[in-house]
Structure 1
Amino acid sequence: MLILKPNCECCDKDLPADSKDARICSFECTFCAECAEKTFANLCPNCGGNFVPRPVRPIDKLARFPASTKRFTKAHAVCADLQA
């Protein structure tokens, strides 16, 4: 089951469980569409895999299988520039 990370690992934008803006790779690294497409050209900076839209978990399943609340960020130089 996907963790459904709550934020972009680069710019820290909120990505709630129902976000259509979230992109993930096969290791579930999570980025917003803008960072995935414009900053990383659809290649994950962590593993080199491609990004796909993250599936949306049905609302009736979120109570039993909630999204993660732990925020994730990575120390990529380009991300630090975006957060400054």
Structure 2
Amino acid sequence: MLEIRPTCENCNVLLPNSSKDAMICTFECTFCKDCVDNILHNVCPNCGGGFTKRPSRPSELLEKYPVSTKVVYRPIDKEMFNELLQKYRDIDSRER
């Protein structure tokens, strides 16, 4: 089951369950759409994978299966990330 993390790992903007701006990679690294599009260019800084829209948990299941409250805030090191970005930016995420 997805954790549904509450914030962007890079900029710490709030990404509640209902957010249409929440993006995740296959390992559930969670970033806002703005960071994915304008800083990360669809390359996860943690695994090199691509991103997809994070689904939301149905409201009637939130009590039984609450979303995570654990904030994962690890702003990217732009210098270190640039190497990964150059390696994967022009390769489709399904072919990395």
With the length of structure 2 as denominator, give the TM-score of the two structures: 0.78
Query: What's the counterpart of residue 57 of structure 1?
Result: 57
Query: What's the counterpart of residue 73 of structure 1?
Result: 73
User: C-alpha distance in 2, partners of 1:11/1:19?
Assistant: 15
Matched, 1:25 2:25: yes
Aligned length: 78
Q: With a CA cutoff of 8 Å and minimum separation of 6, indicate the structure with the bigger relative contact order.
A: 1
Superposed structure 1 runs of 4+ greater than 4 Å apart: none
Taking only aligned residues, the RMSD between alpha carbons, in angstroms, comes to 0.9
User: C-alpha distance in 1, partners of 2:24/2:41?
Assistant: 13
Q: CA deviation at 1:73?
A: 1.1
Query: 3-state DSSP class of the match of 1:31?
Result: strand
Structure 1: where are the runs of 5+ without partners? Answer: 79-84
Structure with the bigger percentage of helix: 2
User: C-alpha distance in 1, partners of 2:61/2:18?
Assistant: 12
Query: What's the counterpart of residue 11 of structure 1?
Result: 11
Identity over aligned residues, as a percent?
A: 49
Q: Which has the larger radius of gyration?
A: 2
User: C-alpha distance in 1, partners of 2:27/2:64?
Assistant: 23
With the length of structure 1 as denominator, give the TM-score of the two structures: 0.89
Q: Alpha-carbon deviations, 1:9-54, whole Å to 9, x = none?
A: 0000000011111000000000000001110001101000000000
